[in-house]
C-alpha cells in the first residue's frame, strides 16, 4: 500500500489538520507516514495544502506531483488538483462550495457536501445553524471509504487521541461527520453502505 | 518505545533538550522558527537551563561562544541568511577550540531569497563557515528521525573534538512531520564533569585563557597545526554515508538530505523498470565520503549528482571520482525541489543519450541571459500589505 494524498483548501478549513489526523491514524496503525505542509508568506483566506504519504514501505519523497488522491475543500483547490491526480486516482471535492462537476473521465470523482454535513452536525452543540468546522473530517470519511486506506475506526481513534483538549466536545460530531462523508462516497461509488 | 508524530524543527529542539543542552541562543527566521519557539517554551522548564532570544544572529552566536567557553552545552539555530551573519562568531568558536552545535534549516538564496527548502548553503557549511583554516563537522539529515538522532549526538561530537557541529537540514525537514522515537534523557554536565579548560572562575587555581587571538606567527601556526590534527582525526573516524543497491549498479545517484530521500523513490522506480541504479547518500558532508566514492567510481558507468542548488556537492564528487567515471548533475534552485519524475527523466536521458538536460534549458530563459529586473519587490499574492511583508 502506498497512497499519496494532497489536501487543499482555504486557510481555516482545516486542510492541514485533516492531513495530520490521517498521518496519525496511519502511524498508529503501523504504517510509514509523512506530512508536509505548504508554507510560505500565506495570508488569512489564502490557500493552504499539505501532502500526506502513507505506505507499507519507508517513504522516499514526501512531496508528489501527481497524488493518488486529492481532497479539495474549495474551488481553487479543485481547479488546481483535478488535472494533477494520477490516472485511476481519486478526486474529492466539497460540493457545498464547488458548483461545477469533475471533468476528467480517467479518475474517480466524488462531490461531498462537506459544509452542509458539518452545519447539520454542529447545529446542536452550537445552538445555531451550525458551521463548517467539520467539513475537513467529512471529506476524510469519504477518502477512507473510497480508497480502503485505513478504517473509520482508525480515524476515530486518532481523533480521540489527538483532538486538542479544548475541542473534546466535538468528538461525537466529528465521528458523525466522518461517517456521513463515508456514506456519500459509498453511495456515489456504488460500493454500498459502509460496514465499519 | 512508541513513536509520535513530530515536526522536524520541534523534534530537533526536543532532541537537544534531551541531550542536555543548557543554553540556547537564537533569533527567529523562517523556516527554522519553530525550533526557537519550542526552546522558548520548553527550555525554561528545566532549572538551570537558559533560553534567550538575542537581538540579532550576531549576538546569538557570540552568546553561544561565551557559554561554550564556560563549559556549558550550548547551541543556536537559524536559516541561511542568519547563518551568514554568524560566520564571524563561528570562526572565533573554531579558533578558540570550544564545542558548539548549530542547526541550519536552509532556505532559498542568495540574499534574502525565500523561505522554501534549498541546499544552497553546502559550500558555506562545508568549505567556508567563516574565515581561517577550519571545518565544522557537518551532518545532513534526510528524515525527521535522523535529524533527532543527529542533534542528540552532535553535542558529544562537538565536545569530543572541541569543534562546531552543524546539523544541515532544509525547509522540508524543518517543516515536515514524521513518526519519531525520541532518545533517552541525558542530564546536563555536573560541575565535576565540566571540561578542564572551561572558564568557571579561577578562585584557588591558576587562571585559564581561551582566545582565538595569537599575535605571533609561530604561536598561531602551532594552534593551527593542533586544529588540523583534530580535523584529521574527524576525517579518520567520522565519515558516514548510506548506500542502497550500489553492488550491481551501472549508475549511482549521489544526493544528500531531502534530495537523498527523494532519490530513494527514484531508485525504486528505476529498479522496477529494470534499470540498475544505486544510491550513495553522504550523511556527513564534512568529512565527505570521498574514499568510498572513489572506489565506486571505479566500478560504475556513471555518477549522477542531484541537488537543490546549482551544483555544489558536485565538486566534491568530481574530486572523489577523479575521472574514473563521468559525473553528471541535475539540480533546481531558488527553493524548487526536484521531484522523482524529473530525476527519472534525467536517468532515462543519461541511459539514452549519455547526458542530462539542465533545468535552465527547459525553462523560459532557455539558456539565454534574461534582462535584469529594474525594480525589486517582495510581492505577496493578494496581499494589501506587500510593503510590510516580513520573512
**B176 shares contact with chain A (CB less than 8 Å):** yes
Across the beta sheet with B177-180, what order do the strands follow? A108-112, A90-94, A69-72, A2-10, A47-55, A32-37, B177-180, B4-7
Identify the sign of the CA torsion B108, B86, B228, B162. negative
Helix (H) or strand (E) holding A70: strand A69-72
Instruction: Calculate mean pLDDT across residues B107-130.
Output: 96
pLDDT bucket at B363, cuts 50 / 70 / 90: low
CA distance B32 to A16: 19
Query: Which position has the grid cell 565506486?
Result: B296
CB within 8 Å: A27 and B179: yes
CB within 8 Å: B389 and A41: yes
CA distance A12 to B123: 40
Of B114, B179, B341, the CB nearest to A65: B341
Q: Which of A54, A60, A80, A87 to mutate to test the interface with B (most CBs of B within 10 A)?
A: A60
**B387 shares contact with chain A (CB less than 8 Å):** no
- Give me the percent of chain B exceeding a pLDDT of 90: 88
Residues 6+ apart with CB under 8 A from B23: B49, B50, B52, B63, B64, B67, B72, B73, B74, B75
Which of A118-127, B99-108, B293-302 has the weakest average pLDDT?
A118-127
CA distance A37 to chain B (A): 7
pLDDT bucket at B380, cuts 50 / 70 / 90: very low
In chain A, residues with a C-beta closer than 8 Å to the C-beta of B30 are: 39
In chain A, residues with a C-beta closer than 8 Å to the C-beta of B381 are: 46
Instruction: Calculate mean pLDDT across residues A160-174.
Output: 92
CB within 8 Å: A34 and B178: yes
**B389 shares contact with chain A (CB less than 8 Å):** yes
What does the pLDDT read at residue A11? 87
Residue range B15-29, pLDDT digits in tens = 999 999 999 999 999
Chain B residue closest to A27 (CA)?
A: B179
pLDDT bucket at A195, cuts 50 / 70 / 90: very low
Of B371 and A52, the structure prediction assigns the larger pLDDT to: A52
Chain A residue closest to B115 (CA)?
A: A40
pLDDT bucket at B361, cuts 50 / 70 / 90: low
CB within 8 Å: A60 and B267: yes
Q: Which of B29, B145, B173, B179 to mutate to test the interface with A (most CBs of A within 10 A)?
A: B179
Across the beta sheet with B302-307, what order do the strands follow? B241-244, B277-282, B251-254, B302-307, B327-331
What does the pLDDT read at residue A43? 66
**B208 shares contact with chain A (CB less than 8 Å):** no
Q: Which of B5, B170, B379 to mutate to test the interface with A (most CBs of A within 10 A)?
A: B5
Is the per-residue pLDDT at A92 higher than 90? Answer: yes
Q: How far apart are the first and last CA of chain A?
A: 20
CA distance B66 to B123: 27
Residues 6+ apart with CB under 8 A from A70: A5, A6, A7, A8, A77, A81, A82, A84, A85, A89, A90, A91, A92
Q: Nearest Cα to B67, choosing from B35, B102, B33?
A: B102
Pairing of strands B241-244, B164-170: unpaired
CB within 8 Å: A60 and B263: yes
In chain A, residues with a C-beta closer than 8 Å to the C-beta of B175 are: 36-37, 39
Averaged pLDDT of chain B: 93
Three-state DSSP class for residue A5? strand
What does the pLDDT read at residue A164? 87
Helices within chain A (DSSP H only): 15-28, 75-81, 114-126, 135-147, 152-162, 171-188
> Please, which residues bridge with residue A93 across strands?
A72, A111
What is the grid cell recorded at A85? 491526480
In chain A, residues with a C-beta closer than 8 Å to the C-beta of B339 are: 61, 63-65
CB within 8 Å: A43 and B341: no
- How many CB atoms are closer than 10 A to CB A193? 9
**B75 shares contact with chain A (CB less than 8 Å):** no
Of B175, B266, B382, the CB nearest to A39: B175
CA distance A182 to A174: 12
- How many CB atoms are closer than 10 A to CB B361? 10
Is the per-residue pLDDT at B389 higher than 90? Answer: no
CB within 8 Å: A58 and B262: no
Chain B residue closest to A64 (CA)?
A: B339
pLDDT bucket at A193, cuts 50 / 70 / 90: very low
CA distance B313 to B323: 16
CB within 8 Å: A39 and B381: no
CA distance B4 to chain A (A): 8
| CB B324, CB B351: distance < 8 Å | no
Query: In angstroms, what CA-CA distances link B225 with B90, B97, B159?
Result: 19, 12, 19
CB within 8 Å: A40 and B115: yes
What is the grid cell recorded at B104? 541550519
Q: Which of B176, B340, B379 to mutate to test the interface with A (most CBs of A within 10 A)?
A: B176
CA distance B335 to chain A (A): 11
CB within 8 Å: B263 and A40: no
Of A24, A39, A65, the CB nearest to B339: A65
CB within 8 Å: B382 and A61: no
Is the per-residue pLDDT at B168 higher than 90? Answer: yes
Residues 6+ apart with CB under 8 A from A172: none
In chain A, residues with a C-beta closer than 8 Å to the C-beta of B337 are: 63
In chain B, residues with a C-beta closer than 8 Å to the C-beta of A11 are: none
What is the grid cell recorded at B291? 574514499
pLDDT bucket at B71, cuts 50 / 70 / 90: very high
CB within 8 Å: A62 and B337: no
What does the pLDDT read at residue B300? 97
Amino acid at each position: 500500500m502506498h497512497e499519496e494524498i494532497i489536501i487543499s483548501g482555504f486557510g481555516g478549513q482545516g486542510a492541514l489538520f485533516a492531513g495530520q489526523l490521517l498521518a496519525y491514524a496511519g502511524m498508529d496503525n503501523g504504517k510509514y507516514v509523512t506530512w508536509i505542509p505548504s508554507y510560505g508568506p500565506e495570508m488569512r483566506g489564502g490557500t493552504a495544502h499539505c501532502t500526506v504519504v502513507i505506505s507499507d514501505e519507508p517513504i522516499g519523497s514526501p512531496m508528489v506531483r501527481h497524488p493518488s488522491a486529492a481532497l479539495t475543500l474549495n474551488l481553487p483547490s479543485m481547479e488546481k488538483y483535478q488535472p494533477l491526480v494520477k490516472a485511476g486516482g481519486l478526486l474529492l471535492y466539497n460540493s457545498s462550495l464547488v458548483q461545477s462537476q469533475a471533468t476528467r473521465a480517467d479518475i474517480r470523482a466524488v462531490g461531498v457536501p462537506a459544509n452542509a454535513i458539518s452545519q447539520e452536525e454542529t447545529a446542536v452543540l452550537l445552538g445555531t445553524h451550525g458551521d463548517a468546522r467539520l467539513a475537513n473530517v467529512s471529506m476524510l470519511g469519504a477518502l477512507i471509504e473510497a480508497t480502503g486506506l485505513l478504517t473509520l475506526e482508525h480515524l476515530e481513534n486518532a481523533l480521540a487521541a489527538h483532538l486538542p483538549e479544548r475541542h473534546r466536545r466535538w468528538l461525537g460530531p466529528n465521528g458523525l461527520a466522518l461517517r456521513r462523508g463515508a456514506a456519500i462516497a459509498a453511495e456515489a461509488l456504488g460500493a454500498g453502505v459502509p460496514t465499519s | 518505545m512508541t513513536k509520535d508524530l513530530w515536526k522536524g524543527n520541534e523534534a530537533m529542539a526536543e532532541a537537544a533538550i534531551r541531550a542536555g543542552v543548557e543554553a540556547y541562543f537564537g533569533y527567529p527566521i523562517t523556516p527554522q522558527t519553530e525550533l526557537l519557539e519550542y526552546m522558548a517554551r520548553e527550555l525554561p522548564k528545566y532549572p538551570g537551563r537558559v533560553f534567550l532570544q538575542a537581538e540579532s544572529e550576531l549576538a546569538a552566536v557570540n552568546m553561544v561562544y561565551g557559554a561554550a567557553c564556560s563549559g556549558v552545552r550550548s547551541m543556536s539555530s537559524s536559516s541561511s541568511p542568519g547563518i551568514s551573519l554568524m560566520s564571524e562568531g563561528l570562526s572565533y568558536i573554531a579558533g578558540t577550540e570550544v564545542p558548539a552545535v548549530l542547526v541550519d534549516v536552509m532556505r532559498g538564496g542568495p540574499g534574502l531569497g525565500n523561505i522554501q527548502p534549498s541546499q544552497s548553503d553546502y559550500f558555506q557549511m562545508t568549505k567556508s563557515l567563516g574565515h581561517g583554516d577550519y571545518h565544522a563537522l557537518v551532518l545532513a539529515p534526510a528524515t525527521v528521525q535522523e535529524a533527532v538522532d543527529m542533534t542528540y549526538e552532535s553535542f558529544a561530537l562537538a565536545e569530543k573534538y572541541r569543534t562546531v557541529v552543524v546539523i544541515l537540514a532544509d525547509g522540508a525537514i524543518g517543516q515536515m512531520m514524521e513518526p519519531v522515537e525520541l532518545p533517552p534523557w541525558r542530564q546536563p554536565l555536573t560541575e565535576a564533569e565540566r571540561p578542564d579548560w572551561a572558564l568557571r572562575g579561577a578562585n584557588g587555581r591558576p587562571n585559564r585563557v581561551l582566545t582565538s587571538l595569537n599575535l605571533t606567527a609561530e604561536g598561531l601556526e602551532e594552534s593551527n597545526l593542533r586544529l588540523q590534527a583534530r580535523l584529521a582525526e574527524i576525517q579518520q573516524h567520522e565519515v558516514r554515508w548510506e548506500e542502497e543497491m550500489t553492488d550491481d549498479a551501472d549508475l549511482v545517484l549521489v544526493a544528500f538530505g531531502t534530495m537523498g530521500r527523494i532519490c530513494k523513490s527514484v531508485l525504486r522506480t528505476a529498479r522496477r523498470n529494470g534499470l540498475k541504479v544505486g544510491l550513495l547518500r553522504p550523511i556527513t558532508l564534512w568529512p565527505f565520503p570521498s574514499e568510498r566514492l572513489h572506489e565506486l567510481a571505479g566500478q560504475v558507468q556513471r555518477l549522477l549528482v542531484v541537488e537543490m542548488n546549482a551544483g555544489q556537492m558536485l565538486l566534491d564528487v568530481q574530486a572523489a571520482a577523479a575521472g574514473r567515471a563521468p559525473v553528471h548533475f541535475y539540480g533546481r534552485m531558488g527553493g524548487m525541489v526536484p521531484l522523482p519524475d524529473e530525476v527519472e527523466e534525467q536517468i532515462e536521458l543519461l541511459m539514452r543519450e549519455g547526458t542530462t538536460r539542465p533545468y535552465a534549458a527547459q525553462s523560459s530563459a532557455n539558456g539565454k541571459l534574461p534582462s535584469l529586473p529594474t525594480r525589486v519587490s517582495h510581492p505577496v499574492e493578494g496581499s494589501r500589505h506587500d510593503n510590510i511583508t516580513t520573512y
